[in-house]
Amino acid sequence: MLMTVQDFETAARRRLDPVHADFIAGGAGDEITVRANEEAFRRLRLLPRVLRGSAERSLDITVLGGRARTPVLLSPTAFHKLLDEEGELATARAAAAVGAIMIVSMASTVAVEDIAEATRGAGETADPAPLWFQLYLQPDLEFTRTLVRRATDAGCGALVVTVDSPVRGAHERDLRNGFLDLPDGLRCEHMAEPGEGGRVRPIAMSPEISWQHIDWLRGITSLPILLKGALHPEDARLAVRHGVDGLLLSNHGGRQLDTVPATIELLPEIHAAVAGRIPIVLDGGVRRGTDVVKALALGASAVGIGRPVMWALAEGGEKGVRRLLELLREEVDHALALCGASGVRDLTPDLVRAPVWPD
Ligand code: FNR
């Protein structure tokens, strides 16, 4: 029975081509940060309040103008058609059904216009959770501008700019497996030139991308911008100064620089650095409702999940992802009840205890 995120991982591994299983699970270098993300959540303890709960608990959140029925959103992950025939269409329908925000990866195997179309009417409310669009700023700014326009026209509610990838992370599992490209028949739709058989550009990771490019982006779009992958508190302060609207505190699931800290360990420091001026979404190692509660209590407005969505998609397609999102929602609700909270708003830092915590 699929009762936990761990169950989805185990079930997916039974089905997946081991090369694809490695692509999902793997990280950079020795995968120290991959493990650290989960271990850091496990080290934290919850300290509940008593005699103040309520029968009705709200898991609704609003972040950057986007309303969602769950604080768990789908972080951007590449290549969903590797895992399911329908790829991102299946993922997006499941997210819409549950009322979760989905961040569409620039490296998706379905175009953002088609994903947006698939989610119309898939949700249960008239006010569906938004799609956001993730991009790596390309040195070809005209091409980047086209992508921003496409995401905007498709109705995306925010842009998520990933800045932790001046060069590609060293994914040694993929290198050993020779998994360096998508199989024939699949492509990154956003990188394809229009028309049949058009050229597909490689996604450029460029060390020359700088704050000036963020300023440029700020100047060409009125959509909220989230910066994904800034970890240093000074960069968090700079983000605010450059007009960024939110942070996605992420170490790319341990897939870029190995040995960086777990994101949950950094959260208090980043929270202090931005001092409430912009919201923080956190991802990396979130596997349980209690992890979600810990992150929200320490100041995150929402949390993202990456690998669990891919496992659920591989295991059960659209239904699998829907079940995964529902079970995490149930776990969060259960943890809220046991913490004496009537909603995510009641979560405060005093509910979390850390055996070892930086000043
Ligand atoms: C990712 N991630 C990612 N991030 C991004 O900005 N653009 C992308 O295209 C991808 N693609 C991608 C593929 C795969 C297979 C994984 C596992 C991850 C990173 C992702 O958004 C997120 O930061 C992490 O996955 C969060 O950690 P967990 O939940 O996987 O532990």
Going by CA atoms, what residue is nearest to atom 24 of ligand 1?
253
Q: What confidence score (pLDDT) does residue 357 get?
A: 53
Q: What confidence score (pLDDT) does residue 198 get?
A: 77
Q: What confidence score (pLDDT) does residue 126 get?
A: 63
Q: What is the pLDDT averaged over residues 226-252? A: 98
pLDDT digits (tens, 9 = 90+) for 67-86: 999 999 999 999 999 999 99
Q: How far is the CA of 338 from the centre of ligand 1 (A)?
A: 31
Instruction: State how far the alpha carbon of 239 is from the alpha carbons of 48, 144, 221, in Å.
Output: 34, 20, 16
pLDDT of residue 121 exceeding 90, the answer is no
Alpha helices per DSSP H over 192-350:
211-220, 233-241, 263-274, 289-297, 307-338
pLDDT of residue 124 exceeding 90, the answer is no
pTM above 0.95, yes or no: yes
pLDDT digits (tens, 9 = 90+) for 280-324: 999 999 999 999 999 999 999 999 999 999 999 999 999 999 999
Name the residue with higher pLDDT: 275 or 355: 275
Q: How many domains does the chain have?
A: 1
Q: What is the pLDDT averaged over residues 47-67? A: 96
Write the CB contacts of 234 (distance below 8 Å, at least 6 apart in sequence).
Answer: 273
Tracing tokens 């300290």 back to the chain, one arrives at 47
Q: What confidence score (pLDDT) does residue 356 get?
A: 58
Instruction: Look at residue 81 and tell me if it is in a domain.
Output: yes
Instruction: Look at residue 89 and tell me if it is in a domain.
Output: yes
Q: What confidence score (pLDDT) does residue 195 get?
A: 74
Instruction: Look at residue 176 and tell me if it is in a domain.
Output: yes
Decide: residue 29, CB within 10 A, 0-12 exposed, 13-18 middle, 19+ buried.
Answer: middle
Write the CB contacts of 57 (distance below 8 Å, at least 6 apart in sequence).
Answer: 333, 336, 337, 341, 342, 343
pLDDT digits (tens, 9 = 90+) for 253-264: 999 999 999 999
Counting residues of the chain whose pLDDT is more than 90, the rounded percentage is 93
The ligand 1 atom nearest the CA atom of 134: 6
pLDDT of residue 123 exceeding 80, the answer is no
Instruction: Look at residue 83 and tell me if it is in a domain.
Output: yes
Instruction: Look at residue 151 and tell me if it is in a domain.
Output: yes
ipTM here: 1.00
Pocket of ligand 1, beta carbon within 6 A: 23-24, 37, 75-78, 105, 107, 134, 162, 228, 250, 252-253, 255, 283-286, 305-307, 310
pLDDT of residue 359 exceeding 70, the answer is no
Catalytic residue check, 334 = no
Instruction: Look at residue 358 and tell me if it is in a domain.
Output: no
d(CA 88, CA 313): 9
Q: How far is the CA of 82 from the centre of ligand 1 (A)?
A: 15
pLDDT of residue 345 exceeding 70, the answer is yes
d(CA 270, CA 276): 10
Counting residues of the chain whose pLDDT is more than 70, the rounded percentage is 98
Mean pLDDT score of the chain, rounded to an integer?
A: 96
Gyration radius from the chain CA atoms: 19
Q: How far is the CA of 125 from the centre of ligand 1 (A)?
A: 28
Tracing tokens 């979560």 back to the chain, one arrives at 347
Instruction: Look at residue 291 and tell me if it is in a domain.
Output: yes
CATH number of the CATH domain containing 97: 3.20.20.70
Please pick, among 80, 171, 190, 252, the residue that the annotation labels catalytic. Answer: 252
Instruction: Look at residue 142 and tell me if it is in a domain.
Output: yes
pLDDT digits (tens, 9 = 90+) for 178-219: 999 999 999 999 999 887 777 899 999 999 999 999 999 999
Q: How far is the CA of 53 from the centre of ligand 1 (A)?
A: 35
The residue segments making up the domain with residue 165 are 5-353
d(CA 173, CA 171): 6
Sign of CA dihedral 164, 169, 174, 179: positive
